[in-house]
Amino acid sequence: MSQDILITPGSGEPQILFRGSGTTDTAVELNVLSSYQSATGSGTALLFEGEEGLLFGVTDNLSSGTIFSVADISGLPALEYNASGELKIGEYASSTVLYTDNGVYLSGDIPAITTGALYSSGGALHYNGSPVSVSYSAGSGLVLTNEEFNIYGGTGNFQQLDITSANTFTPKIVFTGSGVTDTPVTLKVLSSHASASSSGTALSFEGTEGQLFGLTDNLSSGVIFSVNDITGLPAIAYNASGELKLGEYAKNVTLYGGVKTTINEEVDGATITFDMDESNVHMATLAGDRTLAVTNVDAGQRFMIRLTQDVTGSRTVTWWNNISWSDGGTEPTLTTTGGQTDLFGFLCTSGNYYDGFVCGQDI
């Protein structure tokens, strides 16, 4: 009995066709070529090819290039082994899924190039040249640690991501765009938004132009929240005193739409004090002759005061000092009719000095 079946090419390539038993089955070809990559290259290639292209290929005695490959539907290798000893899995795949009941084992050899490599060294897991330890417990969940970060997960579902500095570096996350010249934006965690020696923890977004956004926790004084302009100065800032500052260092501020403020109705008393931190519009009903005062007024602030007589009427007021009244500086006389209202406007020209205007009387 002959032991070998010898197929020798004539004018064409030697091939064997495999066909299914269906009426429309297409053939899968087993071809023998002089090389897997080139007809003029060394080595002999055994190829299985179908309508979609190369399905499987193996090359004998190849000193360089691909020895073995399994291709995907586009003809690109999904599994490939080359003459350099590299086994490539899913190089052109959209994802790679490993199903195993016994885990994935890494040898103890340290690769010559550790950049981007996951490997075992002395039984310890390493990545990118640094040791990584992995553990799990019911109380703390999954814990991954190396020299730069800790990641903690809770029991069951993933509950929390903690990034904690384990050395002198500031813990941070860097965000980079997909463009060719995109520069990264860095999310940093600092001991304070204002100073490394201050209390509180700061979350800071920084770009090449400086700080873009800052948020400080547990701050008893100073800026809690800020959005900075290109010079690094706050365009929007909110501080621990409860002040919200818009455009403090801006050339101008443009507001689209109405600016709405509440009307503060003050409690009647011998002295009625109008707090300009609470509102720019105040009103009070006079149940007797009263002394009026203002507090927390800044230079440039404009405000209005609406005074209403009670049903008795004929109530008078003593104004605070340093008001320059319009109409020749004459202090206005209030409407005396019970239930009627007078409206006054003021501009703080400097510290404790005011321009006063009668906006309307006997309203």
Q: How confident is the model at residue 155 (pLDDT cuts 50, 70, 90)?
A: very low
Number of structural domains, the chain? Answer: 4
Residue 268 pLDDT greater than 90, yes or no: yes
Rg (C-alpha) for the chain, rounded Å, is 40
Instruction: Decide if 251 is inside a domain.
Output: no
Report field, pTM of the whole predicted structure over 0.75: no
In a domain, 27, yes or no: yes
Is residue 8 situated within a structural domain?
Answer: no
> Are 273 and 352 contained in the same domain?
yes
pLDDT in tens, 10-21: 556 666 777 777
Confidence of residue 66 (pLDDT cuts 50, 70, 90): confident
Do residues 292 and 332 both lie within one domain? yes
Range scoring the smallest mean pLDDT among 38-52, 257-271, 273-287, 302-316: 38-52
Closest by CA position to 211, among listed 192, 232, 188:
232
Domain residues for 25? 15-89
Domain boundary among 89, 115, 130: 89
Other Cβ atoms within 10 Å of 211 Cβ, number: 19
Q: Which of 54, 89, 124 is the last residue of a domain?
A: 89
The C-alpha atoms of residue 78 and residue 89 are separated, in whole angstroms, by 6
Claim to verify: residue 213 and residue 131 sit in the same structural domain = no
**Are residue 355 and residue 289 in the same domain, yes or no?**
yes
Q: Among 56-70, 156-170, 228-242, 330-344, which range has the highest average pLDDT?
A: 330-344
The mean of the pLDDT values for the chain is: 77
Q: Is there a domain that residue 258 lies in?
A: no
Task: Return the DSSP state at 262.
Answer: P
When pLDDT is averaged across residues 27-32 and rounded to a whole number, the result is: 74
Residue 150: what pLDDT?
40
Whether 274 and 206 share a structural domain: no
- For residue 319, being part of any structural domain is answered with yes
Q: For 313-351, what is the HEC assignment?
A: CCCCEECCCCEEECCCCCCCCCCCCCCCEEEEEEEEEEC
- 131 with 115, same domain: the answer is yes
Question: How confident is residue 97, by pLDDT bands cut at 50, 70 and 90?
Answer: confident
Tell me, yes or no, whether 3 lies in a domain.
no
**136: confidence class by pLDDT, cuts 50, 70, 90:** low
For residue 174, pLDDT over 70 is answered with yes
Specify whether 82 is located in the same domain as 112.
no
- pLDDT band, very low/low/confident/very high, at 148 (cuts 50, 70, 90): very low
Among 62, 89, 116, the domain boundary falls at 89
pLDDT band at 236 (very low <50, low <70, confident <90, very high): confident
Q: Percentage of residues in the chain with pLDDT exceeding 70? A: 75
Residue 26 has pLDDT above 90, yes or no: no
Q: Count CB atoms within 10 A of the CB of residue 240.
A: 14
Q: Per the domain annotation, does 100 fall within a domain?
A: no
CB 315 within 8 A of CB 289: yes
Mean pLDDT of the 51-77 span:
72
Please report which confidence band the pLDDT of residue 157 belongs to, taking 50, 70 and 90 as the band edges: very low
Identify whether residues 271 and 356 lie together within a single domain. Answer: yes
pLDDT score of 288: 96
Grade residue 52 by pLDDT with cuts at 50, 70 and 90: low
- Do the domain assignments include residue 214? yes
Q: Tell me what the mean pLDDT of segment 220-239 comes to.
A: 76
Q: Highest mean pLDDT range out of 28-32, 115-119, 338-342?
A: 338-342
Report which of 351, 245, 346, 249 is spatially closest to residue 296, judged by C-alpha positions: 351
Residues 226 and 301 placed together within one structural domain of the fold: no
Cα separation of 263 and 343, whole Å?
13
- 70 and 23 inside one domain: yes
Dump pLDDT digits (tens) for 295-353: 999 999 999 999 999 999 999 999 999 999 998 889 999 999 999 999 999 999 998 89
**pLDDT of amino acid 138:** 52
Span 261-273, average pLDDT: 94
Closest CA to 41 of 57, 19, 65, 18: 65
Q: Are 237 and 223 in contact (CB under 8 A)?
A: yes
Q: Specify the CATH number for the domain of residue 269.
A: 2.60.120
Looking at the fold, whether 120 and 206 belong to one and the same domain comes out as no
Most confidently modeled of 73-77, 160-164, 255-259, 264-268?
Answer: 264-268
